[in-house]
Amino acid sequence: MCGIVGFTGSQPASPILLEGLKKLEYRGYDSAGIAVLDGDKINMAKTRGVIKNLCEKTHDGALLPGNAGIGHTRWATHGAPNDVNAHPHMSNDGKFAIVHNGIIENYAELKEELVAKGYKFKSETDTEVIAHLLDMYYTGDLKFAVMKTVSRLVGSFALGVLCACEHGKLFVVREKSPLILGIGVGENFFASDVTALIAHTKNVIYLEDGELAEITPDSVTVFDGAGREINKEISRVVWDIEAAEKGGYDHFMLKEIMEQPRAIKATVEPRIKNGRITFEDGGVTPEFFSGIDKIIITACGSAYYAGCVGRYVIEELCRIPVSVELASELRYRNPLVNGNTLLIVLSQSGETADTKEALRECKRLGARSIAVVNVVGSSIAKLADHTIYTWAGPEIAVATTKGYTTQVAVLDMLAVYLADIMGLITPERYSQLLTGITQLPSLAQRSIDLNTHLEYIAKRYSSCNPLFFMGRNIDYAVALEGALKLKEISYIYSETYAAGELKHGTIALIEDGTLVITLCCYEPLYEKTLSNVEEVKARGARVLAVVHEGNSKIFPLADDAIYVPKTDALLAAACEVVPLQLFAYYVAKDRGCDIDKPKNLAKSVTVE
Ligand code: F6R
């Protein structure tokens, strides 16, 4: 969703802001803008559409000289995506320009008050009230004006402020929306996302809710909500700029699919010590689980589907009830949790609003919580009792791939770890599963290598719409993710059914030529799934089967096959999903879709 950047230093600000905004494109946006202080005047340029338009409009920034500025990519919430509603927004006299991520919930009443005082509004946004409030409260003390303004706001905001009277100075505030400061030499930055900073500095400060900061070229001063200066730790980002670039691939999505063996390895390997699984890096100890009598996994989208895999694995190994809940439902359901409930929260970005609020609500009701998160320092990572990071590196494509597989890998590990401390697993089974987990990176690579023919298969089926997925047990959970991948990047209507459920209604939709992608890797139920394949085949379906490598018996029942390497049945998901990601990728490519930035979608969904 929206992204913000800011720079102050001695270089021209505009090109740095434009570059930063390009790095935030992946979050999803519909318009963009920058504002730069030149002498005593703030100049602004903004436009609907892509950053390229903004670069053209500003001659790559040359038309907006100056060494301090702010920039924004907007994903419309209040008011249509157009030039006027794009950020930055300015006060009437041009003294303030601001950029804002989040939502100001009480903007209507603030607007009424400001209109009554004579302020003129240009846009339909909730954000514009902030520029006018700053103007109203500014009497020469920027920090005071910012704090006074913030005290009037209800909602979520990461705010960047530029003031024509304060040369070289930027002000930022964070409240329920991510904001990171980048510390340079003779120059400093802010952004909603590390990817926008990493080309300039790896030294960052993660602001917490309620904190504000004054940024000049030579200093960064952070204050708490009461305005008292506080000391903040400077963290070092562990990945390089190359990780956030395409590196020769046509799309980030393909690059990230290919990165999965490495990402799973980075997630798994450091957590196996002396033949035992450990989560001590996240502060998780066996005692933390004592007395737990139920587990709730909550998340949104693909992360929720990773949770669906987790339920099968944890329940099977730990014999403890596990429910998987959509965070947007859980948060409003007065959930049945207490101090004996373990809440596992899954989120690649660590900023998904519904997931964060579901976590907050369950914590309030006493649940113990573990977050499985990819983005270091993100809100969910901070809110949970313990955080287990998936070390997937930056995920830029809107459709998650390595985010999902690393979440699954952590859940596999957690299941084995828990089963062990609950005394429910023999040493032999423990070491069998541990070996299986250690092999996941190479097996994910094998999944990629086995499917070089997928581009051709995808071409054959790219006009099948709608289509269906089916499977049983873990195959079913993986199929849910396979169908979502197709929906979001190729816009094909694809739906998943538990294979045994098909004949209770949905089979009526199968007709001559309907594509049914059937996952047949969960061996304990292989024969059952095959009988479902027979059923759809008998009604004219084309069948694309996902089977273990070497399974030739699937023909002639299947029209085509996708192969995955054999793993322990419980650990199959991380490898089985890989060809489905590739299939979705090549189908979308064949259909000419904008793969990395599918329509209407945002990478990090920071509003409800
Ligand atoms: C699908 C996808 C989304 C996310 C969902 C949760 O490819 O990326 O469905 O999985 O929005 O996002 P996180 O994991 O950041 O909480």
In the predicted structure, residue 242 carries a pLDDT above the cut 80: no
Question: Mean of the pLDDT values across residues 226-240?
Answer: 91
Best probe residue, ligand 1, of 260, 348, 593 (max atoms within 8 Å of C-beta): 348
Which atom of ligand 1 lies nearest, measured to the CA of 304? Answer: 10
Question: Could you tell me if residue 569 is inside a domain?
Answer: yes
Question: Could you tell me if residue 601 is inside a domain?
Answer: no
Question: Nearest to residue 532, comparing CAs of 454, 457, 468?
Answer: 468
Domain match, 422 and 491 both: no
Question: What's the angle, vertex CA 168, arms to CA 164 and CA 170, rounded to 5?
Answer: 80
Question: Could you tell me if residue 557 is inside a domain?
Answer: yes
Domain match, 576 and 477 both: yes
Domain match, 97 and 219 both: yes
Best probe residue, ligand 1, of 331, 356, 605, 607 (max atoms within 8 Å of C-beta): 605
Question: Could you tell me if residue 599 is inside a domain?
Answer: no
The pLDDT tens digits for 281-302 are 999 999 999 999 999 999 999 9
Question: Mean of the pLDDT values across residues 148-155?
Answer: 95
In the predicted structure, residue 504 carries a pLDDT above the cut 80: yes
Confirm if 413 and 265 have CB atoms less than 8 A apart.
Answer: no
Q: How far is CA 586 from CA 400, 459, 564, 604, in A?
A: 15, 7, 17, 24
pTM of the model: 0.85
Domain match, 288 and 416 both: yes
| Residue 318 CA, ligand 1 centroid: distance in Å | 27
Question: Could you tell me if residue 298 is inside a domain?
Answer: yes
| Residue 500 CA, ligand 1 centroid: distance in Å | 28
Which atom of ligand 1 lies nearest, measured to the CA of 401? Answer: 7
In order, the DSSP letters of 54-89 are: HHHHTTTTTTS--SEEEEEEE--SSS-SSTTTSSPE
Domain match, 95 and 229 both: yes
Question: Could you tell me if residue 605 is inside a domain?
Answer: no
Domain match, 382 and 489 both: no
In the predicted structure, residue 238 carries a pLDDT above the cut 90: no
Which atom of ligand 1 lies nearest, measured to the CA of 407? Answer: 14
Q: Whose CA is nearest to atom 7 of ligand 1?
A: 399
In the predicted structure, residue 49 carries a pLDDT above the cut 90: no
Domain match, 421 and 452 both: no
Question: Nearest to residue 158, comparing CAs of 289, 1, 338?
Answer: 1
> What length does the chain have?
608
Question: Mean of the pLDDT values across residues 261-274?
Answer: 96
Domain that holds residue 38: 3-243
| Residue 302 CA, ligand 1 centroid: distance in Å | 5
In the predicted structure, residue 203 carries a pLDDT above the cut 80: yes
Q: Whose CA is nearest to atom 10 of ligand 1?
A: 302
Q: Whose CA is nearest to atom 5 of ligand 1?
A: 301
The pLDDT tens digits for 514-537 are 999 999 999 999 999 999 999 999
Domain match, 289 and 225 both: no
In the predicted structure, residue 501 carries a pLDDT above the cut 90: yes
| Residue 37 CA, ligand 1 centroid: distance in Å | 37
Confirm if 326 and 303 have CB atoms less than 8 A apart.
Answer: no
Single out the residue in 388, 405, 438 at which a domain terminates: 438
φ/ψ of 521, rounded to 5, equals -105, -15
In the predicted structure, residue 458 carries a pLDDT above the cut 80: yes
Q: Which H or E run contains 267?
A: helix 260-268
Domain match, 429 and 294 both: yes
The per-residue pLDDT of the chain, averaged, comes to: 94
Question: Could you tell me if residue 604 is inside a domain?
Answer: no
State the pLDDT confidence band at 608, using cuts at 50, 70 and 90.
confident
| Residue 574 CA, ligand 1 centroid: distance in Å | 16
Q: What CATH number should be reported for the domain holding residue 182? A: 3.60.20.10
Number of structural domains (the chain) is 3
In the predicted structure, residue 151 carries a pLDDT above the cut 90: yes
| Residue 249 CA, ligand 1 centroid: distance in Å | 22
Which atom of ligand 1 lies nearest, measured to the CA of 355? Answer: 16
Q: Whose CA is nearest to atom 16 of ligand 1?
A: 347
CB neighbours of residue 224 within 10 Å: 12
The share of the chain scoring above pLDDT 90, in percent, equals 85
Question: Nearest to residue 191, comparing CAs of 57, 433, 377?
Answer: 377
Best probe residue, ligand 1, of 300, 373, 378 (max atoms within 8 Å of C-beta): 300
Question: What pLDDT is attached to residue 239?
Answer: 79
Single out the residue in 387, 415, 438 at which a domain terminates: 438
State the pLDDT confidence band at 547, using cuts at 50, 70 and 90.
very high
| Residue 605 CA, ligand 1 centroid: distance in Å | 8
Q: Residue 524: is the preceding peptide bond cis (ω within 30°)?
A: no
Please list, in sequence order, all residues whose beta carbon lies within 8 angstroms of the beta carbon of residue 556, skipping any fewer than 6 positions away: none
State the pLDDT confidence band at 84, using cuts at 50, 70 and 90.
confident
Catalytic residues: 2, 603
In the predicted structure, residue 241 carries a pLDDT above the cut 80: no
Question: Could you tell me if residue 443 is inside a domain?
Answer: no
Single out the residue in 220, 243, 266 at which a domain terminates: 243
The pLDDT tens digits for 162-179 are 999 999 999 999 998 889
The share of the chain scoring above pLDDT 70, in percent, equals 100
Q: What CATH number should be reported for the domain holding residue 549? A: 3.40.50.10490
Structure tokens at 89: 């927004």
| Residue 600 CA, ligand 1 centroid: distance in Å | 14
List ligand 1's pocket residues with C-beta within 6 A: 300-303, 347-349, 352, 355, 399-400, 403, 484, 488, 604-605
Domain match, 205 and 137 both: yes
Domain match, 105 and 25 both: yes
The pLDDT tens digits for 320-378 are 999 999 999 999 999 999 999 999 999 999 999 999 999 999 999 999 999 999 999 89
Question: Mean of the pLDDT values across residues 12-29?
Answer: 90
Domain match, 47 and 141 both: yes
**Which DSSP symbol is given to 121?**
P
| Residue 167 CA, ligand 1 centroid: distance in Å | 40
Looking at residue 573, its amino acid is A
Best probe residue, ligand 1, of 257, 389, 390, 400 (max atoms within 8 Å of C-beta): 400
In the predicted structure, residue 418 carries a pLDDT above the cut 80: yes
Which atom of ligand 1 lies nearest, measured to the CA of 604? Answer: 15
